[in-house]
């Protein structure tokens, strides 16, 4: 490995790049996905004021008090994402699908003289990280190579494959073809222990204790090359410390694997009458611990022109592995929902949910905790809206449903086009008196962007604009006895 002296200017490259990635990491582990349960999904997840099945343990635990019989529930879901991207004027499109267990749970009503006492236990998959994104374009303004600088030479890929010199300098600053593929995977699941009790007639309180488990994987395969032969030094006996003058191609592969654990609490309240219900929930901050392993690998390719000093060609491959550990504390979330039977066969429901994302925090890592003010200034408070309806088709065992939800982007100054809208529909059918099969499908869309790296003095030097569409399919089978 080479000895190194680096400049302060290049240090700024890394600081900018790390900050952007960190805010994305914090949000990833603090947000939740499409929810739990087919019926809820079909009704736009407007379920705080409904919550009359096992999924109440996630939506509003106070709703469990409505159940009078034992219930077993199991479901699977499939999540699909399509990413239409534009990078440096060129378009690309990628899609990915992930299918897994959505939930499995049990509800246990206890016999009481009056009122209700109900407990529930189960597993719920609440977020899916599956995504795929590619980009390809000619960059006449910047290169990723200077931005990969690290003050510790062990972690400086370009330095160790002779794309920068011992002073940290490289002439590879722009005029390169760039293309890459980014894939993400993993999910967050909750093991939930919930209970509800009627404290007065038609008034119940509930609590859900949630244990977080999950994983996250990230892979980026990146290539940068001199397709126009800009870096074409043919000098005889070129010192290998100046090998970047013959730059031809650079391969950079990054892999991150994270294990997630933690816990959180949800409090619920519900008032019930014959025609309508009102629910209130408060989700306390969830503490998620992230244990991360990552690796970087680089390979350089040089023009086959001229000779090398002392017949010593540069090393062209280098990699390293490292680990990191930190925590993320999500903000409080407050929600209120109501449902009303406008007709005996027709149910309407609506939810409003408020989250102040400026309360998000790093924990359990002193080097990150000191940057909490910088992290929090990226975010804003948001209010989400969800509405849904269910119609009990007369003289049949079928119920049909539809819903809509709007979830604003938590990033400060994001335009309305970055808000996620979801339209959903579904149906349920009684297969037997005690057996219900529910299905739902939901279509979502929003815009976003990402920077492959940050380059000082050039805003959006590697910006990729994305139009993202999602599809969620959920099937749930419930048996009450």
CATH number at residue 64: 2.40.160.60
403-to-47, 49, 102, 335, 406 alpha-carbon distances in Å = 11, 14, 19, 18, 11
pLDDT at position 23 over 90: no
Report the 10 Å Cβ neighbour count for 115: 14
Distance CA 317, CA 160 (A): 8
Has residue 400 been placed in a domain? yes
Has residue 1 been placed in a domain? no
Which of 77, 53, 76 lies closest to 65, judged by CA? 53
pLDDT at position 6, please? 33
Distance CA 28, CA 131 (A): 13
Tokens of 157: 């890929």
The more confidently predicted of residues 238 and 122 is 122
The DSSP symbol for 297 reads E
Q: State the Cα torsion 266-270-275-276 to the nearest 10°.
A: -60
Residue pair 258/153 in contact by the 8 Å Cβ criterion: no
Query: What pLDDT, in 10s, does the model give residues 164-180?
Result: 988 888 999 999 999 99
pLDDT at position 307 over 80: no
Query: What pLDDT, in 10s, does the model give residues 45-70?
Result: 999 999 999 999 999 999 999 999 99
Residue pair 382/357 in contact by the 8 Å Cβ criterion: yes
Helix (H) or strand (E) holding 20: helix 8-30
Residue pair 91/84 in contact by the 8 Å Cβ criterion: yes
pLDDT at position 79, please? 95
182-to-94, 253, 455 alpha-carbon distances in Å = 10, 10, 20
> Predicted confidence band at 22 (pLDDT cuts at 50, 70, 90)?
low
pLDDT at position 3, please? 40
pLDDT at position 411, please? 94
> Predicted confidence band at 328 (pLDDT cuts at 50, 70, 90)?
very high
Lowest mean pLDDT among 30-39, 190-199, 223-232, 335-344: 30-39
> Predicted confidence band at 15 (pLDDT cuts at 50, 70, 90)?
very low
Distance CA 52, CA 362 (A): 36
> Predicted confidence band at 460 (pLDDT cuts at 50, 70, 90)?
confident
Which of 134, 182, 154 lies closest to 21, judged by CA? 182
> Predicted confidence band at 311 (pLDDT cuts at 50, 70, 90)?
confident
User: What does the longest C-alpha to C-alpha distance in the chain come to?
Assistant: 96
Q: Helix or strand or coil: residue 181?
A: strand
Indicate the pTM of the whole model.
0.89
pLDDT at position 151, please? 85
pLDDT at position 5 over 50: no
Residue percentage of the chain with pLDDT more than 70: 95
Distance CA 50, CA 403 (A): 14
pLDDT at position 142 over 80: yes
216-to-12, 72, 183, 362 alpha-carbon distances in Å = 28, 29, 11, 18
pLDDT at position 20 over 80: no
Which residue range(s) make up the domain with 301? Answer: 8-480
Has residue 3 been placed in a domain? no
The more confidently predicted of residues 458 and 124 is 124
Distance CA 64, CA 61 (A): 6
pLDDT at position 11, please? 32
Total domain count, the chain: 1
pLDDT at position 167, please? 83
Mean pLDDT of the chain: 91
pLDDT at position 412, please? 93
pLDDT at position 390 over 70: yes
Pairing of strands 381-392, 203-225: unpaired
pLDDT at position 430 over 60: yes
Has residue 90 been placed in a domain? yes
């Amino acid at each position: 490995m080479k000895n190194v002296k680096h400049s302060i200017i290049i240090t700024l490259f890394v600081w900018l790049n790390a900050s952007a990635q960190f805010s994305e990491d914090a949000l990833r582990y603090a947000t939740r996905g499409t929810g739990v349960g087919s019926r809820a999904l079909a009704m736009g997840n407007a379920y705080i004021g409904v919550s009359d099945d096992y999924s109440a343990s996630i939506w509003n635990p106070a709703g469990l008090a409505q159940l009078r019989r034992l219930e077993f529930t199991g479901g699977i879901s499939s999540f699909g994402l399509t990413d239409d991207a534009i990078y440096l004027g060129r378009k690309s499109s990628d899609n990915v699908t992930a299918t897994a267990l959505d939930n499995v749970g049990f509800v246990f009503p206890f016999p009481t003289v009056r009122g209700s006492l109900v407990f529930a236990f189960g597993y719920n998959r609440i977020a899916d990280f599956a995504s795929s994104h590619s980009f390809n374009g000619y960059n006449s303004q910047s290169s990723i190579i200077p931005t990969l600088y690290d003050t510790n030479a062990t972690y400086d890929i370009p330095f160790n494959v002779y794309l920068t010199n011992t002073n940290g300098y490289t002439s590879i600053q722009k005029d390169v073809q760039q293309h890459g593929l980014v894939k993400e995977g993993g999910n967050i699941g909750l093991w939930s222990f919930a209970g509800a009790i009627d404290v007065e007639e038609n008034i119940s309180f509930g609590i859900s204790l949630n244990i977080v488990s999950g994983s996250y994987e990230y892979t980026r395969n990146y290539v940068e090359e001199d397709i126009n032969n800009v870096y074409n030094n043919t000098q005889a006996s070129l010192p290998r410390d100046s090998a970047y003058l013959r730059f031809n191609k650079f391969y950079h592969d990054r892999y991150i694997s994270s294990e997630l654990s933690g816990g959180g609490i949800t409090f619920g309240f519900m008032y019930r009458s014959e025609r309508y219900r009102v629910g209130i929930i408060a989700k306390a901050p969830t503490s998620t611990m992230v244990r991360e392993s990552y690796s970087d690998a680089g390979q350089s390719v040089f023009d086959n022109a001229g000779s090398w000093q002392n017949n010593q060609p540069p090393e062209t491959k280098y990699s390293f592995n490292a680990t990191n550990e930190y925590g993320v504390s999500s903000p409080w979330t407050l929600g209120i929902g109501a449902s009303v039977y406008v007709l005996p066969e027709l149910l309407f429901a609506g939810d409003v949910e408020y989250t102040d994302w400026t309360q998000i925090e790093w924990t359990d890592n002193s080097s990150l905790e000191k940057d909490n003010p910088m992290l929090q200034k990226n975010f804003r408070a948001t209010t989400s809206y969800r509405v849904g309806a269910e119609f009990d088709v007369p003289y049949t065992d079928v119920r049909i449903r539809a819903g809509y939800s709007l979830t604003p982007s938590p990033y400060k100054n994001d335009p309305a086009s970055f808000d996620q809208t979801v339209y959903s529909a579904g149906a349920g059918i009684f297969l037997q008196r005690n057996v219900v099969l529910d299905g739902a499908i939901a279509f979502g869309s929003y815009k976003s962007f990402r920077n492959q790296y940050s380059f000082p003095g050039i805003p959006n030097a590697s910006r990729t604009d994305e139009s993202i569409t999602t599809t969620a399919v959920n099937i749930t089978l419930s048996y009450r006895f």
